[in-house]
Structure 1
Amino acid sequence: MSQTAHIPSHRKPRRSASKLAFRAGVAGGVLSTIAVAGAAAPANAEPVTEKTLEMPTLGSLDADLASAVSASAEASQQEALDQSLAAQENAALQKAAKDARKAKAEADRKAEAEKARAEARERASRTAERTSLAGTSSYSASDSDDSGSSQVATGSAAAIVAFAKAQVGDAYVSGGTGPNSWDCSGLVQAAYRQAGIDLPRISYDQSSMGTSVSLSDLQPGDILYWGSRSGSYHVAIYVGGGKYVGAQNPSTGVVERDLDWDPPSGAVRIL
């Protein structure tokens, strides 16, 4: 045996002719089928194309923008209208509240005025009654003055004295001019008004009027003052019998006092 008898061959075995013929037939059949299918396809078939999205045109964008602007303008107009209506309603409410406060204030003022008139009528009635009594009895003080002679207030003096005495017990209020509260000059001014005489409002102006009289020669209706005549700080009305009526201070109110309780600095006579 030769040395190469047992070495296998590395060559691939040749395919048999029958297998090659079979494969050729299969390939030819496939190609024939493709040819037939191509011939059977319609000649006018449309080629397949890709679909693309349509982009909006400039005209449609303008229309949308105009619509948005119009809607925004309408919304702004509606908001402005709502704000205007709200402002009008607020103004109407404020005016109604103001009118109500004004009406209440006017009603309160009328009520106070009516109350003051009622009190004035009552005081006038009391004053008239006192004046009538003074006229029928020739008003004489129960006591004598420093000179020992009896004092009689008649006419205008009687009206002044009667009014002053009618206010005894009223309150003292700085700046008060009645009808229920007074300061010293307010009471003197109101008392002299009963006699148709208008006096200044301030005490030192009142004591500067008329003629100066001695404290030993006083008559009912004379104005007493404390301090200097041109610079008095307090005034009162001499009512006869060595007494005077004045709005003293907040603790005492309007009182009737003897001259020696708080001797005045001087006196003036207006009547």
Structure 2
Amino acid sequence: MSHTAHIRSHRKPRRSASTIAMRAGVAGGVLSTLAVAGASGSANAAEPVTQTLELPTLTADLAAQVAQSADVTQQAAASYELQAERDAAAAKAAKEAKADLADAKKKAAEEKKKAEEAARKAAAERASRSAERATLSASADTGSSDSSGSSAGSSTSTSTATGSAAAVVAFVQSQVGDAYVSGGTGPNSWDCSGLVQAAFKSVGVDLPRVSQSQSTAGTQVGLSNLQPGDILYWGGAGSAYHVGVYVGDGMFVGAQNSSTGVVKASLDYDPPSGAVRVL
């Protein structure tokens, strides 16, 4: 025993068993916690964490929606394509219509020019006929006062139509100015034989339709012995290519051609080859 043991203040306090046990438990708990933490840390360090993402499952409804969307897209594309084709067709039609309109205007201008030219020629023909009438009238006056009697010109220029012949003359003269159309038989357009046939039909005489036959339809007469209503022909008898009607005073009426139409002209304007008398 220490020599100070008997002194109370110098004695070390004794620890109780419960205190020692409590401290041992605490220490053991701490060590256990550290051990678990260390083990957990080692385990976490050895095995990396893997995260798994779950994708949505393609259900039957979702597949139907996708298919429907694809159909709608395809229909829209087809609609756009059809509209584009229609627009292209409309543009092409408009272009063609514009070209047709331009052609129509051009043709109309050409037709107008032709009509104006025909009118100018017709006016020139009328002026020429008026001058010829004046000349023939002067010649007739001179012939009638001439002591020599001046022959055939006087007989044709002073002849006057009567009866059916007068009606034929009146008919053809009423058609002067009508158009010439090949094969025309009236009432406003004629060819040469169509006009002659219609004139004689107006007095009840049926003539053949064509010039060749009309040139032999009556009695042949000389050009110096013509009477109003006689049929004039150009070419040979039976092979004539043109006919007209003598109307007196050295004049005839005939459907000449598409440029002049039906005209009244002097025999000198287009001398005929012969004549036949039907009435």
TM-score by length of 1: 0.47
Larger helix proportion of the pair: 2
TM-score by length of 2: 0.46
